[in-house]
Structure 1
Amino acid sequence: MTAAPPPSTGRELSNPPTDGISNLRFSNHSDHLLVSSWDKSVRLYDASANALRGEFMHGGAVLDCCFHDDSSGFSASADHTVRRLVFNYNREDILGRHDAPVRCIEYSYATGQVITGSWDKTLKCWDPRGASAQERSLVGTYAQPERVYSMSLVGNRLVVATAGRHVNVYDLRNMSQPEQRRESSLKYQTRCVRCYPNGTGYALSSVEGRVAMEFFDLSEAGQSKNYGTFATGGCDGYVNVWDGNNKKRLYQYAKYPTSVAALSFSRDGRLLAVASSYTYEEGDKPHEPDAIFVRSVNEVEVKPKPKMLPNPAT
């Protein structure tokens, strides 16, 4: 038996993936957690009960996953397929295909579409509502300047980050061309992009460990907006919570056994899921087993500290 982790790392989920964890996401409706892995699986957990509720096997590594609702979800695989997962029946079917591994997947509640990004340098939008494969349709294919590395959406806005430090911002109601074409303000390759929940912009991280906070509104007033608190996880095994407005670290959790490959907050912010999974930044070497930790989030860890006002002159 292995020793229990320190309390500050959270509770470790049983039955973790057997190879690298590519992503994990909480449901928008419950404490269910969906986890994709290089072991060709997607696993569904009840994070509060520490119970594995379902497992779906693919023909290749699974590089991303997302929920539709608590009864179904979607996955993106290195075998070039996009799949729909039906949890209650433990069934999966192929929604569509790309010409190369599918790196990213999102479900848009605004349009009812599944959006995928691939290393074939395209985005594809799918209508998943048909009862059979013949009834489902490819809504559109949109060329990208390079391989898609990360995507995020909020409302009708979709942000796509590709190789070559390109960033395209789309309005899902008009995908004919990007609303904005940008270049990452960071020097090195993009690692991850995530939209702000309030819809005003996005956070962009790169492989050297830096994070840039960007806004959709390019006006001077738009660029001076606040962006609150956020969390980052790194190859150093640490999760940090930041006060974005004051550019200060609020809290650092105890070190995890190996690299932090992915993070996800639950819908109400009470829980944080952490994928402790070596990301091969130092090549093939012995490393700790892949694990998923779920920890409770305390207000003191995420609430910005009030600014100290100078003493009035006497």
Structure 2
Amino acid sequence: MALFGTQAPAATSTTGDLSKDVEVQQGMPSDSISDLAFSPTHDFLAMTSWDKYLTIFEVTANGTVGKWRAKTINPQNKEEIPLCLAWSPDGTKIAAGGADGHVFYYDLAVLGTGDIVHSHLWQPHSAGVKGLRWFTFQGKPVLITGSWDKSVKYFDMSTGTPIEMGTLQCQERVYSMDVRNQLLVIATAERHIHIVNLQEPSKIHKTISSPLKWQTRVVSCFSDASGFAVGSIEGRCAIQYVDDSNTSLNFSFKCHRQQDPANRDIARVYSVNAISFHPQHGTFSTAGSDGTFHFWDKDAKHRLKGYPDVGGSITATAFNKDGNIFAYAISYDWSKGYAASTPAQKLQVKLHPIMGDECKPRPGSKKR
């Protein structure tokens, strides 16, 4: 699909072009965006936000069309902030995790356009749900939930009604979680990282300390499931392989840092809020509180493109299924506390068309 008309040639320098990016305008939330994700089967973009909404847009060749919208309300008729979301592998279901421990489950196959209501709702956790992912186990769709209550749970969703299959006890609160093929990676408070082989989902295969010295913000699995990337609040990203024989390939690098204009010896350090891997090329993006995003080739240890400041913190990112659209959310990320949360903060979701070689690995790089 040619996104938003004819594609222009990619810039030849490492500075990327934002001029073709399209802003989502219809049906946007009124508060910060906590998560966003594309459907694995269609160009539907879902987002959760601090105004307690789950919103789904259909991305068309001419931009976006608002399609579905739902407010998260728990059984006590209390509105709940959704912190994360995840699509089912067939793209017909979506789940959102709430700040009070509820999971909101929607079956989109039986719904029309307009407002949506959850098909099922339950409270698997005693604290906020900060991670949601799906995988297929013994032919059944399974939803994984990770929480600040220091647990990860599995639910068989083959009948539409959640059936609990098991629980993993984590060493600390779950901050981020990702799945690729049979690899589950759980990043918690105090820099713990749990690695799980989903062929044996009932046990933690290995626990390591983050290679980064400060609090983990995000974890994202490689496209080929051979490892994962970790981003932290210190403006660093780490590349980590699962197989011990590949430890020589592990490395970390600085990113999302700016020189202080008044003193070039001082660097301003920003949080890495989001890491997304390209579905075909195995390259990846980082996005941060500094308002920039970058595309990287981890095998060549090379930055492919860096983009100018978009005018606000980037809180979430996602590639679509074909890898020709990159979505990024601009909203306040609370990195500077309540005092910095003002009406002047930018709130946007933009769609960046991937052009030319923006996300292609350097010649000679091994795709992972």
- Tell me if both proteins adopt one fold, taking TM over 0.5 as the criterion: yes
Residue 147 of structure 1: aligned partner = 173
Q: Which amino acid aligns with 1:71?
A: T
Deviation at 1:223, TM superposition (A): 4.1
- What does 1:82-231 align with in structure 2 at a 5 Å threshold? 82-87=103-108, 88-89=110-111, 90-92=116-118, 93-110=120-137, 111-131=140-160, 133=161, 136-220=162-246, 223-224=248-249, 229-231=283-285
CA distance 1:251–1:283, change in 2 (3 Å): same
Q: Are 2:46 and 1:34 aligned? A: yes
- SS of the aligned residue for 1:219 comes to helix
Instruction: Return the letter of the residue paired with 1:130.
Output: T
Counterpart of 1:241 in 2: which secondary structure?
strand
Alignment of 1:13 with 2:27, yes or no, is no
What SS does the aligned partner of 2:244 have?
coil
Q: CA shift at 1:305, angstroms? A: 4.0
Query: Could you state the TM-score of these two structures normalised by the residue count of structure 1?
Result: 0.89
The Cα of 1:283 is off from its aligned counterpart by 1.9
Superposed CA RMSD in Å reads 2.1
Q: Which residue of 2 aligns with 1:55?
A: 69
Deviation, 1:159, is: 0.4
Matched-pair contact (CA < 8 Å) for 2:105–2:121: yes
Please state how far the C-alpha of 1:172 moved relative to its aligned partner.
Answer: 1.9
Partner Cα distance (1:270, 1:62) in 2: 27
1:127-183 per-position Cα deviation (integer Å, ceiling 9, x unaligned): 12225x4xx311112111000000001112110000010000112232332111111
Asked if the contact 2:133/2:178 (under 8 Å) is kept, the reply is yes
Q: Percent identity?
A: 31
Alignment check: 8 A CA contact 1:20 1:290 kept: yes
Structure 1's unaligned 5+ residue stretches are 1-5, 308-314
TM-score norm. by structure 2 comes to 0.76
1:50-73 per-position Cα deviation (integer Å, ceiling 9, x unaligned):
111111211211000011133321
Give 3-state SS (helix, strand or coil) of 2:289's partner: coil
State the AA in 2 paired with 1:211.
C
Query: Unaligned stretches of 5+ in structure 2?
Result: 1-16, 73-78, 252-280
Q: What is the SS of the residue equivalent to 2:357?
A: helix
What amino acid maps onto 2:199 in structure 1? Answer: R
SS in 2 for 1:142: strand
CA 1:232 to 1:7, structure 2 compared with 1: closer, same or farther past 3 Å? Answer: closer
User: Residues 295 and 23 (structure 1 numbering): CA distance in 2 closer, same or farther, change over 3 Å?
Assistant: same
Paired with 1:183 and 1:270, the residues of 2 have a C-alpha distance of 35
For 1:23 and 1:165, the matched residues in 2 are separated by 21
> Displacement of 1:291 after TM fit?
1.1
Q: Give the drift of 1:95.
A: 4.1
Alignment of 1:230-309 (within 5 A): 230-284=284-338, 285=340, 286=342, 287-306=344-363
Which residue is equivalent to 2:263? none
For residues 303 and 44 of structure 1, what CA distance do their matches in structure 2 show? Answer: 29
Cα shift readout 1:62-101 (whole Å, capped 9, x = no counterpart): 0000111333211100121012112342230214421111
The aligned length equals 298
Provide the C-alpha distance between the structure 2 equivalents of 1:117 and 1:224, rounded to a whole number of angstroms.
Answer: 29
